[in-house]
Amino acid sequence: MYSRIAGCGSYLPEKILTNHDLEAMVDTSDEWIFKRTGIRQRHIAAENENASELAFQASKKAMHAAHVAPSDIDLIIVATSTPDMIFPSTACILQAKLGIKNCPAFDMQAVCSGFVYALATADLFVRSGKSRCALVVGTEVYSRILDWTDRGTCVLFGDGAGAVIVKTSKTQGIISTHLHADGSYHKDLAVPGSISGGKVTGNPHVVMEGNTVFKFAVKVMSEMVDEALTANNLKKSDVSWLIPHQANIRIIQAAAKKLGLGMDRVVVTVDRHANTSAASIPLALDDAVQDGRIKKGELILMEAVGGGFTWGSVLLRW
């Protein structure tokens, strides 16, 4: 029993916030942001758009692409760090919006690695026979947890959602998954606020030790290349496409160099989307599928690093 991605979809909010727009909001510049991150713009959710709504729009497109009806879906996993509410899960809210009943639905919280974690989990459900058609979504509204006076973080993130349908297959689609975490870094990239007594205590915004995050990400993104290839007795030249987490162009370039791929074989959306956390990989996947870059039978390596720290990869055949 194998699992395979049968279709994908994405959704980006209508509002676009450019680096030039940010120049009027915080002490920064387009040149400063682009040189350090590769970001030109990001999408910002409307007031009435939350994580489940973005997920709903992306899910409908993925279901259409995979030719599946709501009644076909028997598992929903939503990767998000910005849920609609503390509980119930955003997955349950999405389930209701899609009109799906009586199937498992839960959230996956691994920050920017969330989609990789969720896809790996869906793969296990499908290969074990517990699911035949899973909906996996990465959705984020990071604009809600940013301090818009902190130029070190507010310029980095954006909102969006991406979704895939994972189905049983007679041929191998998802080849292997590799997940990791090291909680000793939990303070280096976090939203340390909490709710107590009906009030928010602590800082409810993203905080980040930029240098620590950058160095760690470059290190493990390179290590994950070797891990995935070694586990499957593959060569670097076997990989057709790298779809990395879209956090920083310099981290992406380092991962591509490790894999020996030219940037023309790396899917890059960070310039247009910024860092959409758990949504970044499925957004990038759908971008490359929709414009025809990714062809049937090609080998794709996805990899991500997120707060926790968490990190992981998925190697699959399209």
Q: Is 224 exposed, middle or buried (0-12, 13-18, 19+ CB in 10 A)?
A: buried
pLDDT at 180: 98
pLDDT, tens digit, 9 for 90 and up, residues 188-243: 999 999 999 999 999 999 999 999 999 999 999 999 999 999 999 999 999 999 99
Per-residue pLDDT at 186: 97
CATH number, span 2-171? 3.40.47.10
Largest CA distance in the chain: 56
- What residue type is 109 in one-letter code? Q
Residue of 92, 274, 55, 307 whose CA lies nearest to 184: 307
Q: Which two tokens stand for residue 53?
A: 């709504």
Dihedral angle sign, alpha carbons of residues 179, 279, 288, 251: negative
Which is it for strands 133-141 and 75-79: parallel, antiparallel or unpaired?
parallel
> If DSSP codes are grouped into helix, strand and coil, which group holds residue 164?
strand
CB 108, CB 89: distance < 8 Å: no
| Residue closest to 209 by CA, chosen among 192, 231, 226, 196 | 192
- Which residues are known to be catalytic? 112, 245, 275
The answer to whether the CB of 77 falls within 8 A of the CB of 123 is no
pLDDT, residue 53, reads 98
Domain boundaries of the chain, sorted by first residue: 2-171, 175-317
Among candidate residues 36, 35, 30, 57, the one with its CA nearest the CA of residue 45: 57
Does this chain's domain 2-171 share its CATH topology with 175-317?
Answer: yes
Sign of the CA dihedral running 258, 262, 263, 264: negative
In angstroms, rounded to a whole number, what is the distance separating the alpha carbons of residues 5 and 169? 9
Which helix (H) or strand (E) element contains residue 191? none
Instruction: Indicate the average pLDDT of the chain.
Output: 97
Q: Distance (Å, rounded) from C-alpha 66 to C-alpha 87?
A: 30
Q: What is the pLDDT of residue 238?
A: 96
Digitized pLDDT (tens) for each residue of the chain, 318 residues in all: 899 999 999 999 999 999 999 999 999 999 999 999 999 999 999 999 999 999 999 999 999 999 999 999 999 999 999 999 999 999 999 999 999 999 999 999 999 999 999 999 999 999 999 999 999 999 999 999 999 999 999 999 999 999 999 999 999 999 999 999 999 999 999 999 999 999 999 999 999 999 999 999 999 999 999 999 999 999 999 999 999 999 999 999 999 998 999 999 999 999 999 999 999 999 999 999 999 999 999 999 999 999 999 999 999 999
**Type and span of the H or E element at 283:** helix 280-290
Cβ neighbours, 10 Å, residue 210: 14
3-state class (DSSP) for residue 126? helix
**Which CATH number does 175-317 carry?**
3.40.47.10
Residue type, 119: L
